[in-house]
Amino acid sequence: MREKIQNKCLTSTLFGLAVLLLAVSPARALTPVTACGQTLDVPGGAYILTVDLDCSGTFANGINIAASGVFFHLAGHTISSTDCDASKSIGGIVAPGGISGVRIDGGTVKGFNDGIVLYSASSRMSGMTVTNACIFGIAVSGQNNRVDTSVVTLSGLDGIGIGAASGIYIVSNDISGNARVGVDISNFSNNNFVMNNIINRNGILDGEQGGVAIFNGTNNLVANNALNNNFNGIEIESPGNLVRGNTVSGSSNTGIFITPVGSPSTVKYNTVLGSGITDMSDDTCGVNTWRNNTFQTDLVAGVSDGGPGTGCIR
């Protein structure tokens, strides 16, 4: 009986080991990435960063992705550069337009003009730390790209810049301490989603903009984010956008506001408190929809709208 039990245990152990080996064995071989300027150009190829890379002094991209379906795992390593020159295109990781299905994850990009340039389509960046970019932490264009579960901080301009883009998802990130805007939507960017992010202390250094700014684009959704201690919380400067279910606190200037060129837009179910100037502001009252918001102070065309329960901001 004892022998049977031992044999059974051995069989179970071997079976379990086989399952484990199958689980951890990569579906495709991982090609090492070991040098600045390396180009990842095998369609569907899987690449892994095996060392930290300091690309300072090259005034060039750190890593170039040049094929669809590339998977680039940084394996906890860092790609960095102190180079900052607005006359050049200098990105830490660059996935250009014309390719699709790129995946980037698992490490840190520090410095460069732009930390990560994600212009490919149907691509995803996750689990990254992007810090100290000279201009944009992450520049996103194209269609149906996703940035999630990442930290974007200390950018010289904006944390995440969305431009000429649609179907972009910015979800579950920490976007904090960037000089101008945490998330900037501009350059005819429509049907994008900024949701469930922590967006803190943006715009303080420059004394303008702040958490999320929609400069140009329609049908964008800003929802369920926590925005704390930004210069402004959320600003809408383009019509046809929806701001819903956000918590905005401690803005140095204004919590949520709509400019005349941002009308008509809709702001509802937000909690906005503790703003330095006013919690909510609208320059064209009656054109926009304000509904079911929690706040204390408001302005319409620079004059008090009477607070909660009165006026057009509600």
Write out pLDDT tens, residues 64-84: 999 999 999 999 999 999 999
**CATH number of the domain enclosing 71:** 2.160.20.10
Q: How far apart are CA 128 and CA 132, in angstroms?
A: 13
The confidence score (pLDDT) of residue 69 equals 98
Residue of 110, 115, 107, 122 lying closest to 138 (CA atoms):
115
pTM for the whole structure: 0.90
Query: For residue 311, is it within any domain?
Result: no
Query: What's the total number of domains in the chain?
Result: 1
The confidence score (pLDDT) of residue 20 equals 32
Question: Other CB atoms closer than 10 Å to residue 100's CB: what's the count?
Answer: 17
Query: For residue 38, is it within any domain?
Result: no
Q: Find all residues with CB under 8 Å of 40, minimum gap 6, and list them.
A: 31, 33, 47, 63, 64, 65, 66, 67, 70, 72
Domain of 75?
44-304
The confidence score (pLDDT) of residue 28 equals 64
The confidence score (pLDDT) of residue 27 equals 55
The confidence score (pLDDT) of residue 47 equals 98
Largest CA distance in the chain: 89
Query: For residue 97, is it within any domain?
Result: yes
Residues of the chain with pLDDT under 50: 1-26
Query: For residue 210, is it within any domain?
Result: yes
Query: For residue 5, is it within any domain?
Result: no
Query: For residue 133, is it within any domain?
Result: yes
pLDDT one-digit tens code per residue, 5-23 = 334 333 333 333 333 333 3
Query: For residue 11, is it within any domain?
Result: no
Task: Please state whether 132 falls in left (phi above 0), alpha (psi between -120 and 50) or beta.
Answer: left
Query: For residue 215, is it within any domain?
Result: yes
Alpha carbon of residue 169 to chain centroid: 8
